[in-house]
Amino acid sequence: MRIAILSPFYPYRGGIAQFSAMLYKGLKQEGHEVKAFNFKRLYPDFLFPGQTQYVDEKDQAIRIASCSVLDSINPLSYFKTVQEIKAYAPDVLIISYWMSFFVPGYAHIANRLKKECKVIVLVHNAIPHEKRFFDKPMASLLFKQTDGFIVMSDTVKHDLLSLKPDAPYLQTPHPLYTHFGDKLSREESCRQLNINPEKKNILFFGLIRDYKGLDLLIEAFSGLDNNYQLIIAGESYGSFDKYQQQINGLPDDLKVAVYNQYIPDSKIPVFFSAANVLVLPYRSATQSGVLSIAYHFDLPIIATPVGDFPQRITHAGTGIITSNISASSIQNGIEQFFSEDKEVYYYNIQKEKEALSWETFTTKLLSFLKELGLSQKD
């Protein structure tokens, strides 16, 4: 089968680019011909809230050869992208979708290509966490041009079906990120971070945005004793001042290690190897790539009851879901975790790692494409 993937790829950074690179490799390993169609410009610089959209040249990001053609704000590039994909003549086009900002280009491309090939939308978010009035109508515009959908959580499935009730879809969990290398020793990772390896290390990891609830975690941390240590690793999209004020108000013997920066792939093993537990104190969620990284490093999780966290964590037995979205319940979850025998969590994580392989994901995807009328020989 000849497959085109339209998505951010290297040199863009972040989870969407990482996911698409792993999908590309997984489909190639199954023996299919795959071509990556990339963005020439993803976000205009004035709209991007972080420091840079690109990975550092020294980083160990997955480098996929791609055709950089789509400019999100240049309609002329929409026509050029259609031409390039048509010239490749794919049997199926997979479009990575997570934000309505990209709908004008995506909808044009899908509309022009839907008679040429099957068009599948891989829906990371049907409706963004930080909602705007135009998100639903814009997503609906794209979804009308589409033959099928891939979703990775109940939340995204429900959002999709609220916009397109008759949508043919495949639901399968977010597979593991496995390209970050091996786990380090706790002593070595703590040495690299210059933190105390004797503490109970709590990790918050990823881009810092309001809906991710870092303020709730810091408030929860304020109620713990000095046997605990909080590690905050990730770039803040917006001002970090309010979090810093919370940290400044903590007792002197409560230690917080802050790394307010984009964490390159090469440094990810250090943070996950130093931690005893990952905490996801989110106010809202769909699925989380960070959870998949935690599984790769055999790290249990404490999370709030949002998105697919209850299914991915409680049902799998890989951590604790708090009773509600509050600092007090997060504190209770942390204290409960450290008071329990954790071997069951490690055992269950190993089982999840077997079930969440890219081989499983691509096998399900190829079966779904067959249901839509594409054969393995196409």
Judge if 257 and 367 occupy the same domain.
no
Q: Token pair of 203, please?
A: 């990790």
Look at residue 375 in the predicted model and tell me its pLDDT: 63
Look at residue 71 in the predicted model and tell me its pLDDT: 97
**Contacts (Cβ under 8 Å, ≥6 apart) of 267:** none
Does a cis peptide bond (omega within 30 degrees of 0) precede residue 90? no
Alpha helices of 194-288 — where are they, by DSSP H? 214-221, 241-248, 268-274
Edge to edge, the sheet with strand 66-71 lists 66-71, 33-41, 2-6, 92-97, 118-123, 148-151, 169-171
pLDDT at residue 123 tops 70: yes
Is residue 241 assigned to a domain? yes
- Please count the helices (runs of H) and the strands (runs of E) in the chain: 14, 13
Is residue 180 assigned to a domain? no
pLDDT at residue 378 tops 70: no
Alpha carbons within 13 A on the beta-carbon side of 255:
16
Render pLDDT for 172-190 as a digit per residue (tens, 0 to 9). Answer: 988 988 778 889 999 999 9
Check: CB of residue 99 under 8 Å from CB of residue 128: yes
Check: CB of residue 291 under 8 Å from CB of residue 316: no
DSSP annotation of 64? -
Of the candidates 258, 186, 190, the residue with the CA atom closest to the CA atom of residue 218 = 258
Render pLDDT for 65-96 as a digit per residue (tens, 0 to 9). Answer: 999 999 999 999 999 999 999 999 999 999 99
**Number of domains observed in the structure of the chain:** 2
Judge if 244 and 321 occupy the same domain.
yes
Q: Using pLDDT thresholds of 50, 70 and 90, give the confidence band for residue 353.
A: confident
Render pLDDT for 321-344 as a digit per residue (tens, 0 to 9). Answer: 999 999 999 999 999 999 999 999
Q: Token pair of 98, please?
A: 């997570």
Amino acid found at 128: P
Amino acid found at 367: S
Q: What is the mean pLDDT of residues 302-313?
A: 91
Look at residue 12 in the predicted model and tell me its pLDDT: 92
Domain membership of residue 74 as a residue range? 2-175+357-371
Judge if 99 and 228 occupy the same domain.
no
Judge if 146 and 192 occupy the same domain.
no
The CATH number linked to 223 is 3.40.50.2000
Judge if 223 and 330 occupy the same domain.
yes
Pick the range with the lowest mean pLDDT from 42-46, 201-205, 294-298: 42-46
Judge if 168 and 204 occupy the same domain.
no
Judge if 155 and 50 occupy the same domain.
yes
Look at residue 316 in the predicted model and tell me its pLDDT: 84
**190 vs 273: CA distance, rounded Å:** 8
Look at residue 252 in the predicted model and tell me its pLDDT: 87
- DSSP state letters, 133-192: TTHHHHHHHHHTT-SEEEE-SHHHHHHHHHH-TT--EEE-PPPPP--S-PPPPHHHHHHH
Judge if 128 and 190 occupy the same domain.
no
The CATH number linked to 119 is 3.40.50.11930
Is residue 366 assigned to a domain? yes
**118 vs 373: CA distance, rounded Å:** 9
Question: Using alpha carbons only, what angle is made at residue 338 by residues 337 and 343, rounded to the nearest 5 degrees?
Answer: 75
Render pLDDT for 143-167 as a digit per residue (tens, 0 to 9). Answer: 999 999 999 989 999 999 999 999 9
Q: Where are the beta strands (DSSP E) in 207-318?
A: 228-233, 255-259, 277-280, 301-303
Element housing 272 (H / E): helix 268-274
Check: CB of residue 69 under 8 Å from CB of residue 15: no
Q: Using pLDDT thresholds of 50, 70 and 90, give the confidence band for residue 376.
A: low
- Measured in degrees and rounded to the nearest 5, phi and psi for residue 118 equal -70, 140
Kindly report the number of other CB atoms within 10 A of residue 62's CB atom.
17
**112 vs 341: CA distance, rounded Å:** 57
Judge if 31 and 152 occupy the same domain.
yes
Q: What is the CA radius of gyration of the chain?
A: 21
Element housing 107 (H / E): helix 103-113
Is residue 246 assigned to a domain? yes
Q: What is the mean pLDDT of the chain?
A: 92
Q: Token pair of 250, please?
A: 């903590």
Look at residue 157 in the predicted model and tell me its pLDDT: 95
Higher pLDDT, 142 or 48: 142
Look at residue 50 in the predicted model and tell me its pLDDT: 73
**196 vs 130: CA distance, rounded Å:** 36
pTM: 0.82
Pick the range with the lowest mean pLDDT from 36-40, 67-71, 77-81, 304-308: 304-308
Judge if 212 and 113 occupy the same domain.
no
Check: CB of residue 64 under 8 Å from CB of residue 24: yes
Of the candidates 246, 229, 239, the residue with the CA atom closest to the CA atom of residue 209 = 239
Judge if 137 and 29 occupy the same domain.
yes
Is residue 376 assigned to a domain? no
Look at residue 288 in the predicted model and tell me its pLDDT: 80
Is residue 181 assigned to a domain? no
Check: CB of residue 378 under 8 Å from CB of residue 1: yes
Judge if 147 and 276 occupy the same domain.
no
